[in-house]
Amino acid sequence: MAAVFAIGLVLITRSFETQFPKRATLRDHTATTMAVGDGFGRDLRVNGQGMTGLTPITKDDGPPAVASLDHPPETGLVVCFGMGTTFRSMRSWNIQTTAVELVPSVPKLFWYFHSDAAQLLSSPASHIEIDDGRRFLERTTQKYDVIAIDPPPPLESAGSSLLYSREFYSTIKQRLKPGGILQQWLPPAEPEVQAAVARALQESFPYVRVFVSVTGEGLHFLASDAAFRRRSAEELVQQMPTTAAKDMVEWGPYTTPSRQFAAILDTEFPLNRLLTASPRTLAMQDDRPVNEYFLLRRLRKALRTTSGKIP
């Protein structure tokens, strides 16, 4: 009977990937990677977990930092390749760009999301490194004008804090050129997590700015060892080559780079707002992964909401 039941299960069970009529699947020693969907609904999944979609947020993961430099950019680094959107946007500035990706199959699906993928990858200015982003930064001797970090979701996943921690930022500081800028993306998060990341950046860099994304979801942090030159939207656009200006507004939501930059600049707020929202939260550290220990925090909030009291 058990054998019949087992055979029946095999016959009726469908592979996870079959739920996506249009897909490209690659497998390697690290993960199963899928590019699924069509049009603007395409999605990247690693071991079933959605990584990213086609969104202007990833196009804005580099331009604010590059345009804010006080010197002409020459080199950029993107940690976490994803769909390759941030890498592609960095390359649109005509600078030497390196992307570091842990999963070997992920860059191989670049073509699924961008028709010019093969052309970009064949350029001598493009460099793809299959490695852990933090390990790469600890071993390389290269220095960069801009480093853009877009850690993979979910924010609560084990080990994700290592790309937001004070120790990680200490390593990044060593890999930035004088006056170089780190751009860190943080998806929507609890006040405690926002405060932990903000405090880690504050304790690592003397100058930090924070903006809300153009879609209103998540935060962009800019951090540097040098004071930022406060440029208007029009002044930022003047720093852009034509290719970068075109790339920035490819998916909107605004029709011109000036309006897009203005929308970002209008959302800037003091870093201290994040710190005071959770004043007792310490900086994110390797041994204090605030984002990874969320269950009791969320249960406490749920109880407070239902009972009106803080347990």
* Domain boundaries defined on the chain: 56-291
Greater pLDDT, 209 or 9: 209
Q: Mean pLDDT over residues 109-124, rounded?
A: 97
Position 11 confidence tier, pLDDT thresholds 50, 70, 90: low
Please name every residue paired with 53 in a beta bridge, in sequence order, or none if there are none: 43
Please state, in angstroms and rounded to a whole number, the distance separating the CA atoms of residues 191 and 297: 11
| From 22-36, 196-210, 288-302, the region with the lowest mean pLDDT | 288-302
Cis peptide before 154 (omega within 30 of 0): yes
Task: Name the CA dihedral angle for 174, 180, 186, 192, rounded to a multiple of 10 degrees.
Answer: 60
Would you call the peptide bond into 191 cis, given omega within 30 degrees of 0 as the criterion? no
In contact, 151 and 218? CB cutoff 8 Å:
no
Element (H, E) at 177: strand 176-186
DSSP assignments along 109-147, one per residue = THHHH-TTHHHHHTSTTEEEEES-HHHHHHH----EEEE
- The H-or-E segment that residue 244 falls in is helix 242-248
The residue written with tokens 């004008």 in the block is 145
Q: Has residue 4 got a pLDDT over 70?
A: no
Q: Is 98 left (phi over 0), alpha (psi -120 to 50) or beta?
A: beta
| 221-242: average pLDDT | 95
pLDDT at residue 8 is higher than 60 = no
Task: Flag whether pLDDT at 241 surpasses 70.
Answer: yes
Report long-range pairs for 93-97 (Cβ below 8 Å, ≥24 apart): 93/62, 93/63, 93/66, 93/240, 93/241, 93/243, 93/244, 94/125, 94/241, 94/243, 94/244, 95/66, 95/125, 95/145, 96/125, 96/127, 97/125, 97/126, 97/127
Which carries the bigger pLDDT value, residue 205 or residue 291?
Answer: 205
- Whole-angstrom Cα Rg for the chain: 21
Chain-wide mean pLDDT for the chain?
91
Question: Is the distance from CB of 66 to CB of 93 less than 8 angstroms?
Answer: yes
CA-to-CA dists, residue 192 to 147, 189, 204, 284, 298, angstroms: 25, 8, 18, 10, 11
Q: Could you tell me what percent of the chain has a pLDDT over 90? A: 78
- Integer Cα distance of 55 and 261 in angstroms: 16
CB 220 within 8 A of CB 146: no
Q: Could you give the CA distance from residue 185 to residue 218 in angstroms, rounded to a whole number?
A: 7
- C-alpha distances in Å from residue 156, one per residue of 215, 280, 289: 22, 20, 9
Rounded to whole angstroms, how far apart are CA atoms 233 and 58? 19
pLDDT digits (tens, 9 = 90+) for 154-191: 898 888 899 999 999 999 999 999 999 999 999 999 99
**CATH code of domain 56-291:** 3.40.50.150
With contact defined as beta carbons under 8 Å apart, do 50 and 153 qualify? yes
What pTM was estimated for this model as a whole? 0.91
Contacts of 171 (CB under 8 A, 6+ apart): 134, 137, 138
List C-alpha distances in Å: 91 to 63, 149, 233, 269: 10, 15, 21, 29
Side chain identity, residue 164: Y
Round to whole Å and give the CA distance between 126 and 140: 16
